[in-house]
Amino acid sequence: MSTPSFFYLHINTTQNLQTNNQNIVTYYSPKTKMGTASTNSNINLSQILNTKEPYSSLMLAVAALLAVVCYFWIQGKSKSKNGPPLPPGPWPLPIVGNLPFLNSEILHTQFQALTLKHGPLMKIHLGSKLAIVVSSPDMAREVLKTHDITFANHDLPEVGKINTYGGEDILWSPYGTHWRRLRKLCVMKMFTAPTLEASYSTRREETRQTIVYMSEMARDGSPVNLGEQIFLSIFNVVTRMMWGATVEGEERTTLGNELKTLISDISDIEGIQNYSDFFPLFSRFDFQGLVKQMRGHVKKLDLLFDRVMESHVKMVGKKSEEEEDFLQYLLRVKDDDEKAPLSMTHVKSLLMDMVLGGVDTSVNASEFAMAEIVSRPEVLSKIRQELDQVVGRDNVVEESHLPKLSYLQAVMKETLRLHPTLPLLVPHRNSETSVVAGYTVPKDSKIFINVWAIHRDPKHWDEPNEFKPERFLANSLDFNGGDFKYLPFGSGRRICAAINMAEKLVLFNIASLLHSFDWKAPKGQKFETEEKFGLVLKLKSPLLAIPVPRLSDPKLYTA
């Protein structure tokens, strides 16, 4: 039987580590002083097992006994009692479960491969944590609709407690009164149709500033990091809606890069397999240092929030309800509901949600869309034809044009099918033991919805690995999670609250960039769409491109 590639990689890596560390192994025995093993000191398992030292034999026996006890304890916890069986899955090792065979850099594709053998509802042992992987539309419907309330909680990781002040935000708060109030406040002030209509001038101003900056770079033929510029545009829109701040002038390049890197680093840490989540008894030790890293990153954003909140506290009540920004609104109404009052920590956690969730996900979706478009001349040509027909070459793109750009909308949908922003969604956690499709799912299991695999299921998608926007011209699929073969924003009670704003931000930016400029790859480079896996899916390499103005009227490149 051949060794699976991911298992071979693990063994190979382990052997390399052992080889590299051979010269620095320290050891101690009752007959020798502590020292450093030389290159010729070959202490192998056979020698250990055959040692004459009673202490070594006793310790080995105790360790083996403990391993066996722990293994059967974990197995006992995960087995259903007097009920349907657990879902099928790969056989786990004692203590560590399936962790040694999983690569956190390709977890979504590994889950997809394992699903072909074990089925669309599969169990995975992550240390002492039982995880369930959902990989088909039918199973997703069971979890996100049929048993929606039971699976309405998210599985809060250790690092998530740091960047959301103990999980006090919308993303990680348990489903209940407090969560419902947080979501209601955000939707009412940020995401309703009237609110988005009122904030259009903000989105337009920031998009025009991006076009002006691009045109200045185009004069020198300089390549532009599209991800950074899209980030700044969306970041400015969101922060202006939240507290009236913006990044402009010379800071646009330097501060933009710093902020994008900071937010990207935070989401990267959230996507790393943290052994503190799989072995909670040892979480206090933070062996991988992820909690420490997260604290360092969050501290920088925390200082920003503190300064903004301090200035806004003094302004509460001084503006009309129509004029106040999101932060002023939160500070004014935070104590209105006696059943679910908001502390200043709750307010700060909502700001963190908007900055991390509202900005990072929209930016990555925009980057993937631009990368797919500029690397496919036939797609770009169709978009240009549509833009010239709807907008014209003597005008700038307005949001009122977007509903008429059906092919561009199809491109956006196809981008989110191939590159869903959250490839495994945010992991859910069931509040009680449930039976799903005839299998027992024990309480507090970690639930992965493998949207990346569902979106590439050949049973539901023709040529699933090909970029074909036309497939969305012939159907009525949308972002609202009603059809479980297409879930870019999730479904059910935990579906993304900001779908309407994200759609406007992404489409408006992309349409404006493609209408105003041609895009060339820097010399010796080509456009890439390779993915980097994490909680948030990202482009592996920065998207660098040289803008070339395509409109003849210079006035169309002014703010």
Which residues make up each annotated binding site for heme? Answer: 496
Distances (CA, A) of 343 to 30, 298, 348: 59, 19, 9
Distances (CA, A) of 16 to 2, 11, 12, 22, 173: 21, 9, 6, 10, 42
d(CA 354, CA 235): 10
Distances (CA, A) of 531 to 126, 418, 423, 438, 539: 24, 10, 11, 35, 5
Residue ranges of alpha helices (H) inside 314-374 are 326-333, 344-353, 360-374
Cβ atoms of 224 and 525 within 8 Å: the answer is no
Provide the residue type at 523 as one letter: K
Cβ atoms of 429 and 444 within 8 Å: the answer is yes
Output the known binding site: 496
d(CA 266, CA 304): 15
Cβ burial 190-226 (10 Å sphere, 16+ → b, else e): bbeeebbeebeebbbbbbbbbbebbbebbeeeebbbb
Cβ atoms of 99 and 128 within 8 Å: the answer is no
d(CA 492, CA 68): 41
Q: Which of 241, 242, 236 is nearest to 213 (CA)?
A: 236
At 523 the three-state DSSP class reads coil
The beta-strand segments (E) located in 23-174 are 26-29, 32-36, 121-126, 129-134, 153-154
Residue ranges of alpha helices (H) inside 220-288 are 226-243, 251-271, 275-278
At 37 the three-state DSSP class reads coil
Query: Cβ of 407: how many Cβ atoms within 10 Å?
Result: 18
Q: Tokens 């929209």 correspond to what residue? A: 362
d(CA 369, CA 51): 62
Distances (CA, A) of 87 to 78, 136, 142, 325: 11, 14, 14, 48
Cβ atoms of 260 and 363 within 8 Å: the answer is yes
Residue ranges of alpha helices (H) inside 2-106 are 5-20, 45-49, 54-78
Q: Tokens 């002038």 correspond to what residue? A: 249
